[in-house]
Amino acid sequence: MISLSNSEKDTVSSTASTKRLARAMMVSDGEFSLILACCNSVERQQQVLNLLTEFSSTDIHEVLLSPAADTLYTAITSAIGATQPEALMVRGLESVVEINQLIISTNIMRNEFRKQFRFPLMLWVNDEILRKLVWLAPDFKDWAASTIRFDVSHNQLVESEQRAISA
């Protein structure tokens, strides 16, 4: 029987989740879809994004939210203008100061997303933001087929914290 180390298991899991993410964006085919990618580590998120470029031929635009963002819809429309990208990825929700208000307004304006956006919208969330979506924007959150998780192993978390402390 072959036994995988924790880092090998993490790599296999991350690769499978990344392929699932690429497939979810590809099947949208000019229609709005909501994809939630959950990762509690910004470092791991970047690793996944690097992998995603290998697995996906989709041209993915990125929007990094400002801490002062007050609505998700406005932040997106300001960033993309009149263009309709093949796919859009939003990062930085965890840094938004008034995150509860942003999430509530997203739920209120949810129908505008479907009316105006003809592309998959991928939101990078952490566990805290995901919980807030469930409680504050349940109707919007329900549009996501499922949440694609990119978990960080305990060993990776400890290593990351040690690097941050020694820096």
pLDDT digits (tens, 9 = 90+) for 3-60: 434 444 444 456 777 777 777 676 777 889 999 999 998 888 888 888 877 777 778 8
Q: Each residue of 70-118: pLDDT tens digit?
A: 999 999 999 999 999 999 999 999 999 999 999 999 999 999 999 999 9
3-state secondary structure of 2: coil
Residue 25: which H helix or E strand, with range?
A: helix 6-26
Q: What is the pLDDT of residue 126?
A: 96
The tokens of 143 are what? 């549009």
**Higher local confidence (pLDDT), 164 or 114:** 114
Q: Is the four-CA dihedral 35, 41, 45, 51 of positive or negative sign?
A: negative
Which residues are CB-neighbours of 96 under 8 A, at least 6 positions away?
65, 66, 67, 68, 69, 102
Q: What is the pLDDT of residue 165?
A: 60
pTM: predicted TM-score of the whole model, two decimal places: 0.79
Which residues are CB-neighbours of 82 under 8 A, at least 6 positions away?
none
Q: Each residue of 119-163: pLDDT tens digit?
A: 999 999 999 999 999 999 999 999 998 888 987 554 544 554 555
Q: Residue 87, class by beta-carbon neighbours within 10 Å (0-12 exposed, 13-18 middle, 19+ buried)? A: buried
Q: What is the pLDDT of residue 49?
A: 83
d(CA 122, CA 106): 14
d(CA 154, CA 140): 31
